Structure 1
């Protein structure tokens, strides 16, 4: 410990000096922060989607990873599976841990506002030879404090960056939930479509078995060719093989669902559901697209990208604060004595109070390079933000267009199924009457099966596109009737056209 200076031992002056320190610190802490204040990047958005379609205008809602959008499909099994995924999916747990990590980093940055306080104790035995050989002990006990006032806003900018990073991480968590929920919904709905196809092939193989028996009977009666039997058998085996392939696809979808819900495939089984094509079609919800500007308020990936722009902007201020001098205020109080028994006596007391100012004069361009790096990182984050916004607009447009096209295509395909089934019935009747060959029957049956399979697959594509549209819209909407919403994870202030400036260089 440094012995007290004689100036500080005059009792009348000490109270004034102790009061002056905090007052000076408060004054210095009120200085403006260097670096640009954050303004959101400008993003010119269209007034409406190009692919408007038959969609209703939605009311924008705050970002909320807890919206139960999947309930619009009206499937209790899907609801239960997504609830399990929300609790047990490892990707969601990873994003949640990363969010807690980002919050801890923000708290660590905020600690820069506070002084540091420490205690020290020591005992030394030393031999000196200054005025004769002296062997003695030295005991010390002290309390020290230091504080670096945030003169240029370095800590404030670091806190801004930490808070923006934590908010971005919260949005990442919402995006991870939405991604897992969408993947699970698509896999589940595709599995139900596969169940419909399996039912179709089961009915088809039964019909083909009867057709094979018919050709065998007619061949035995001498009114059919051996080639008719071979054609019927080929058709039956082909349908059976395709049914087996569908079983493999179903198994893979079941395994994917198990992983998404946090379970091993061996521990998970999803039995087939008694679902008809009409029931599956009825589960397709009408999804309001809203306005393009709503994406800035709904999509967690867009909100997270915007928060990363804010963090990068704050880091510019942190880098520029290094160009200015730093002030450190310090104080210590304690005891120092050669005999332990007299350590706490008044003559053993030592204290100090002081300040130091430091300024780097030459660093080989290090600070300039870090400042340029921070500005470049900001430009990168702005470009990423704008690209994510544009990508979100594209995803909405793509799925709006796809759903509109699939709706028209499904109507035409239904007509094709009806015509093919009629042709199959007529051709089979003609074959029984002996007025046509079995090749015509095979052709009609193959065409009928192909059209029925295409119709079911179109339903699957519609369901997948609807889930993709929900994801593109940010995982929820509100049209005056849908009230399935919980407390928002983090709200983003509304902004249709956002003003901005680039950080000053």
Structure 2
């Protein structure tokens, strides 16, 4: 059984806080603990089923004080065997006595038709299904945590960017107010500058709300209360910039999807349903059980250990189904229908996996290309903004050109940060779609 993902894919983000959180969530997640219990239950059930393959031996013993009825069915035997002194014999036989017994019973069902073998096979498939679901839970938990963490850090970068821009705009607005008082700037330009500042300040509350919600989501995934990770999730603990992730080849989705836990789980359920058919079919045939009994039985405690107190029996017993109202054959039909359903579900799971893998890889490549274009756009916007400021100071353009260039520059830088966050989320989606595997890097 796997204790953690074979590849710590989140290490690509080079974030020590994320590394620590992933380790903690794999140790403390309630969902993961529940999945682990389901896996242990499947293993225990397999042991219960496999126990039918070996003989069952029981030790028995006791000292029983009892009295026989004078008027039970044995009374008729006395009428035949002792008609003359029947009452005396009956009274003597009905006297209380103590019976001392001890020994063992052994029984074993000979698995002629493979009923037990197929039941064990179904139990093994159930273990495989539980293990795959356990891996799926790890996959979902680790990727959900990483997505929540990336959302948080992206929001915090946007918050920092917005705060810095607000600080710069406030200083510039203050300068324009001073210039306006001395008649060096017109009121229209000042109001436009104030409007630009108000637009930025308006973006702060939604970002703060999103930051708080992302923190709470991370705490929930770790089974903690809101605020328990205030220090670890503070903006100051985040990396200075988003990590540039590697390029990936698209590959063949059918090959990449084979590692997914949901496919392994669907395959195990199909195997389990197939084995259940064989188990039901074996119920149509006779069952043979071999029994053995040996022990000591005495009415006198002193003679309990004598060899003459022994008793034993050995031999096979046959259980042949003749009429059950069609129950056994209906059970076979039911198992066959469930097997067909499991086969369809397996096929659907595979097709869905192919789609998710291809979608994830395509989205990641597309967002990386978009990010490169946004970087070029952001650099051009910064150049235009600087040029507009220089030309405005030289009196070649009015201040409206500066405000427009400033607005474009601010939005371009925000678009880059948002795209970096989306790229990281697309990377996590690749990991999730591949079932925890690592895509192949491009040369």
Q: How would you bin the TM-score normalised by the shorter chain?
A: 0.7 to 0.9
Deviation at 1:256, TM superposition (A): 1.9
Deviation at 1:258, TM superposition (A): 2.4
Query: Would you say the 8 A contact 2:254–2:354 is kept in 1?
Result: no
Counterpart of 2:27? Answer: 87
Against the structure 1 CA distance between its residues 231 and 432, is the aligned structure 2 distance closer, same or farther, given a 3 Å change threshold?
A: same
TM alignment of 1:57-96, pairs within 5 A: 65-96=5-36
Query: Would you say the 8 A contact 1:334–1:350 is kept in 2?
Result: yes
Query: Of residues 166, 188, 192 in structure 2, which corresponds to 1:205?
Result: 166
Against the structure 1 CA distance between its residues 396 and 478, is the aligned structure 2 distance closer, same or farther, given a 3 Å change threshold?
A: closer
Query: Would you say the 8 A contact 1:125–1:137 is kept in 2?
Result: yes
Residue 162 (structure 1) aligned with residue 113 (structure 2): no
Residue 280 (structure 1) aligned with residue 242 (structure 2): yes
Residue 402 (structure 1) aligned with residue 363 (structure 2): yes
Counterpart of 2:97? Answer: 137
Against the structure 1 CA distance between its residues 161 and 411, is the aligned structure 2 distance closer, same or farther, given a 3 Å change threshold?
A: same
| Partner SS state of residue 280, structure 1 | coil
| Partner SS state of residue 426, structure 2 | helix
Query: Of residues 216, 224, 227 in structure 1, which corresponds to 2:177?
Result: 216
Query: Of residues 277, 297, 303 in structure 2, which corresponds to 1:336?
Result: 297
Query: Would you say the 8 A contact 1:208–1:236 is kept in 2?
Result: yes
Deviation at 1:297, TM superposition (A): 4.2
Residue 174 (structure 1) aligned with residue 135 (structure 2): yes
| Structure with bigger RCO (C-alpha 8 Å, 6+ apart) | 1
Query: Of residues 428, 437, 441 in structure 2, which corresponds to 1:476?
Result: 437
Greater displacement, 154-163 / 210-219 = 210-219
Deviation at 1:393, TM superposition (A): 0.9
| Partner SS state of residue 189, structure 1 | helix
Larger radius of gyration: 2
Deviation at 1:476, TM superposition (A): 2.4
| Partner SS state of residue 144, structure 1 | strand
| Partner SS state of residue 363, structure 1 | coil
| Partner SS state of residue 192, structure 1 | helix
Query: Of residues 226, 234, 246 in structure 2, which corresponds to 1:271?
Result: 234
CA RMSD of aligned residues (A): 2.6
User: How many residue pairs were aligned?
Assistant: 417
Please give the alpha-carbon distance, in whole angstroms, between the structure 1 residues aligned to 2:51 and 2:146: 43
TM alignment of 1:359-378, pairs within 5 A: 359-378=320-339
Query: Would you say the 8 A contact 1:295–1:392 is kept in 2?
Result: no
Per-residue deviation, residues 441-491 of structure 1 (Å, max 9, x unmatched) = 44333332222212211111111011111221221238699xxxxxxxxxx
Deviation at 1:274, TM superposition (A): 5.7
Query: Would you say the 8 A contact 1:193–1:456 is kept in 2?
Result: yes
TM-score (norm 1): 0.76
Counterpart of 2:66? Answer: 125
Query: Of residues 350, 353, 360 in structure 2, which corresponds to 1:389?
Result: 350
Unaligned runs of 5+ in 1: 1-61, 482-505
Per-residue deviation, residues 404-425 of structure 1 (Å, max 9, x unmatched) = 2212222222232233333433
Structure with the larger helix share: 2
Query: Would you say the 8 A contact 2:250–2:358 is kept in 1?
Result: no
Please give the alpha-carbon distance, in whole angstroms, between the structure 2 residues aligned to 1:275 and 1:125: 85
Query: Would you say the 8 A contact 2:253–2:358 is kept in 1?
Result: no
Query: Would you say the 8 A contact 1:109–1:155 is kept in 2?
Result: yes
Query: Would you say the 8 A contact 1:63–1:299 is kept in 2?
Result: no
Counterpart of 2:45? Answer: 105
Please give the alpha-carbon distance, in whole angstroms, between the structure 2 residues aligned to 1:479 and 1:408: 18
Unaligned runs of 5+ in 2: 76-88
Against the structure 1 CA distance between its residues 198 and 433, is the aligned structure 2 distance closer, same or farther, given a 3 Å change threshold?
A: same
Per-residue deviation, residues 250-303 of structure 1 (Å, max 9, x unmatched) = 222222222333433332121224644xx4242x13345543343354222211
